[in-house]
Amino acid sequence: MDSKNTYEKYEALFEKWPSVFAELVQGEHGMRVGGWHETPDGAKRASDRGFWAMLVWGASLAYCLLAAHPHLRHNEYFGMKTCAALMLIVWWVLCHFTDSVLRERSLKKTIVCISPSFIQLGEKVYDARVQHKFSMDIHRKAKEEADEELRAQQRGKDNADTRHARYYRDGYHIFLEYLGQRILVTDAYKEDTAEKLLRALTAVDKIVHKEKAVFAGNSNTPNTEESPEARAERQDYFGKRPALD
């Protein structure tokens, strides 16, 4: 088999996230779509832990300050005010750092490998020659989250303006539709992230299986000018917002 992967010329055409690489997939030349991203579950878990971390940091700093310097309670007003301001600054820095660490640790890595014969999702391999497509749908817990907010608003006048955090209503499932099944590829938090992944998967699938002539021109010529037809095809794969049906 030729060591030159013919799909390498497409790598630079994709968005910053997710990343796309031409490589061997199940012993064949293909392309890999992958990247780190937030999920609704991960974002919710990071937010909940961040809230508790904020309380713990605040209580710990207050306890340490008063335990180490009990006389501050009877000190001059200026001294108390200065110490309180310093404590608030340290508390804010610790909370910000903790939130960043929690969000980074909540990221999920998704990798999908597509070759002319196989589609690989994690350890599972599917026959790419069977009719299939990638699709996107709202998270299955979105209605449950909306109903929970509605119930909270109906409890009384005091809760009428309550707005719960949106996690699952801003979350999406990415599916591989295969032999009448909807196989979950991953969950993505925020619509733009889900759309980027879906567009990349759809474009790579089209390129690898050559269902359309996606790009025109001689691929061996660097900086080849796109024809109007090629530009229209590229925009069809990368520029449109995928439907949620």
* Closest CA relative to residue 148, chosen from 168, 130, 128, 133: 168
Q: Do residues 184 and 203 touch, judged by C-beta distance below 8 A?
A: no
Query: 64-85: per-residue pLDDT in tens?
Result: 766 656 665 555 554 666 777 7
pTM: 0.73
Lowest mean pLDDT among 1-5, 142-146, 197-201: 1-5
- For a pLDDT cut of 90, what percent of the chain falls above it? 36
- Cα distances from 45 to residues 13, 125, 192, 202, 223, in angstroms, run 34, 30, 21, 30, 45
pLDDT at 15: 75
Contacts of 79 (CB under 8 A, 6+ apart): 72
Candidate from 36-50, 64-78, 150-164, 165-179 with smallest mean pLDDT = 64-78
pLDDT at 185 over 90: yes
Round to whole Å and give the CA distance between 114 and 29: 9
